Structure 1
Amino acid sequence: MTLDELAISLPNGLHDAELHRCTIDYAARSVQLVLKLWVGRAEQMEVYRPAIINIIGMHFWIVESADPEYPGDDAWLIIDTGEVSALERTPAIHLPDVPQTSFVNWIYVRQWNAFIYVAAETADHRWTGPEEDHAQTIDRTSD
């Protein structure tokens, strides 16, 4: 399964996912993302569910420099993903060629205003806990 196919299988894809930890094993050519995936729906918008995404057969993991104008001091990162081929502009960073069996995706990091580019053979996920309603933890006193 590609990262895009995985995203399509999820309620809201990887849009506004909370990335809590990323572990790259260069020897094993794998990446493990520990996240809380947004699974909210119309009647309950701020619902997230913990999950792990494994990216296997990694060809590259390239991180753009963070925009210095962005504070980047949050406890976790808010991300989104998509296919590099669907980007309106060519990435500023040269991406190496990969086998045709691979997927090439971008991961946008909101707090950095920057991209991570990943190419790999396959991706999978598993849920690691029950749904959590984040609406209960949102501070509405500043509204």
Structure 2
Amino acid sequence: MGTIGDLLGELPWGLHDAFLETLHVDYVAARLELTVRLMMSKYQDRDQRAMIRVDGLVYCAVEAPDARSMDELEEGPVWIDAGSGIARNAAPGIPEAPEGCFVHWLFVRDWNAFIHICGKDATFTWLEPEPVPARADTGLLYPGDELPEPGVGEPDSAPPAAREVIMGPSIDDACADLPWGLHDAHLEALHVDYAGGVAELTVRPFKSDQRTRLRVEGLAYCAVDPPDPRPERPGALWISDGSGIAPSATEHIPAAPAGCFVHWLFAHECNAFIHICGRRATVA
């Protein structure tokens, strides 16, 4: 068994001060993939994109952003720290790892919230051949270093301008043509693109063998509760759904910002909720 900590132990910074760009959960294959940019130089002025894959996924729990952070959230990759085990300050309910598995936490600084990943085996792949100038406003100073002049930086260090997303259909509206909506559907995969502010869900609607892709743009958050209990075997999640924050959901789910909606999914086998908050939903 290789853990995430084992994989990154020889790198200059590991996942400390890294940027998480995408998170993909394949519930059918019990697999997780993270796209990250890792700091690769002493002064954190160079980074390199990589993929971390976790097979034998037991769960991936994503806390919602702290309500006090909602007004300051910006679209783009999220700045993280990381460590092994269950974080001491995590919300209650994170399950211990079963025998032969590991748990690793990511702390998203801008959310003041954690992501916990539990699985059997982790692998690591570089997506870029070598480090490049850091694509975020990063950098460290050590004792005796001089402050850089304002405005001085690498030419490509400025983040791209956020794409404006006009408020459009809610998830209920987008799924209106499905005979049963998302009720009794099966969720096969969840993909969150933090860099693009998009979440995509691959679902099989009730009484249908045809997969449907639900896309949410202008994503404010996608929160995934830890399972209680853990599913006995991997597979698509049997879900029901509704608008707003689920009445029996945990109290830390923040209200939707102006111009956004919140929608909940309930995974029956996991006895857990997924909350998605965004501006526009479409179905393909």
TM bucket (normalised to shorter chain) is 0.7 to 0.9
**What is the alpha-carbon distance in structure 2 between the residues aligned to residue 90 and residue 69 of structure 1?**
17
The list of structure 1 runs, each at least 4 consecutive aligned residues, that deviate by more than 4 angstroms after superposition, is: none
2:73 pairs with 1:72:
yes
Aligned to 2:131: 131
The change in CA–CA distance for 1:15 and 1:97 in structure 2 (over 3 A counts) is: closer
Aligned to 2:16: 15
Query: Structure 2: any 5+ residue segments left out of the alignment?
Result: 135-152, 159-284
AA aligned opposite 2:29 = A
Aligned to 1:101: 100
AA aligned opposite 1:131 = P
Question: Tell me, what secondary structure is at the counterpart of 2:47?
Answer: strand
Aligned to 1:110: 109
TM-score, normalised to structure 1's length? 0.85
TM-score, normalised to structure 2's length? 0.45
Deviation at 1:100?
A: 2.0
2:47 pairs with 1:48:
yes
Aligned to 1:39: 40
Percent identity among equivalent residues?
30
What root-mean-square deviation, in Å, do the aligned CA atoms of Structure 1 and Structure 2 show? 1.8
**What is the alpha-carbon distance in structure 2 between the residues aligned to residue 60 and residue 14 of structure 1?**
20
User: Which structure has the highest helix share of the two?
Assistant: 1
Deviation at 1:35?
A: 1.3
AA aligned opposite 2:75 = D
Question: Tell me, what secondary structure is at the counterpart of 1:14?
Answer: coil
Task: Decide whether the 8 Å contact of 2:133 with 2:157 is kept in 1.
Answer: no
**What is the alpha-carbon distance in structure 2 between the residues aligned to residue 49 and residue 41 of structure 1?**
14
Greater displacement, 68-77 / 102-111: 68-77
The change in CA–CA distance for 1:90 and 1:109 in structure 2 (over 3 A counts) is: closer
Please give the per-residue CA displacement for 1:72-106, whole angstroms capped at 9, x wherever unaligned.
21311111111125x4x363221224322111111
Please give the per-residue CA displacement for 1:10-48, whole angstroms capped at 9, x wherever unaligned.
221101111111111011111111111111125xx3110
The change in CA–CA distance for 1:94 and 1:28 in structure 2 (over 3 A counts) is: same
Greater displacement, 47-56 / 61-70: 61-70
Quick check: which has more Rg, 1 or 2? 2
**What is the alpha-carbon distance in structure 1 between the residues aligned to residue 99 and residue 59 of structure 2?**
14
Please give the per-residue CA displacement for 1:40-77, whole angstroms capped at 9, x wherever unaligned.
125xx311001111011111111112112222213111
User: Which structure has the highest strand share of the two?
Assistant: 1
**What is the alpha-carbon distance in structure 2 between the residues aligned to residue 111 and residue 74 of structure 1?**
11
The change in CA–CA distance for 1:41 and 1:97 in structure 2 (over 3 A counts) is: closer
